[in-house]
Amino acid sequence: MKINVKTVQRFSLYRRLLLEFQPEEDRERIFSYELASLAGNTAAQVRRDFMVLGYTGCTSKGYETHRLVESIAAVLDSEEGQKVAIVGTGHLGKAVIDFFRDRRPKLTIVMGFDVKPDRVDCTIHGCPVFHADRIEELVREEEISLGILTLPVEASQAAAEALVRGGVRGIANFAPVRLHLPPDIHVEELDMTTYLETVAYFARVREAPSDDADDLLL
């Protein structure tokens, strides 16, 4: 089964909301319309997404929250877990390391890389940091499959290529530059300027954006 990007993103959002909902509301069940309201989409979309998981709820009782979390985890998480390396440990890199610490047990930032002397051979929020000239060597040695780039534009392409040579299969790129990598490497471009300009536009015109239709890819 292959699921498109927006559906995966919704699953990630659903899981976060469900994990917050359980202790806060002290409830074991949730209705599709409740989750839709929290997620900012429709009950019909929620039900379609959960059909992808192969899990259906009861009309009168809703969905069991713990079973939903387990079903989402079965799709999103690797059974053996995945290791992540972050390249760039300035203010943004440090914030990412701190934010993601202990957030997902199956997805762990295990090391960082930088070139500045004051950021190398140290530990940031429990994450060891090494010189960037060791990216390929250590990524391969530690069998790291994912990378995060929080670098200046001019350094991003070379760092991405080093990650790929080390065996990384997916990269989250915070630098405002499009990477040129093999087609089998999945890249998510997280350009803060684009997101902020999008927010600014819709705040100015005071009109809700329309989402593109997306469904399960067959």
**40-67 per-position pLDDT tens digit:** 999 999 999 998 888 777 777 888 989 9
The number of residues making up the chain comes to 218
Tell me what the mean pLDDT of segment 159-187 comes to.
96
Distance between CA atoms of residues 66 and 59, nearest Å: 17
- Split at pLDDT 50, 70, 90, the class of 189 is very high
Tell me the C-alpha to C-alpha distance, in Å, between residue 204 and each of 40, 198, 209. Answer: 20, 10, 12
Rounded to the nearest 10 degrees, the angle between the axes of helix 5-25 and helix 32-39 is 110
Q: Please choose, from the candidates 72, 76, 74, the residue with its C-alpha nearest in 3D space to the C-alpha of residue 35.
A: 72
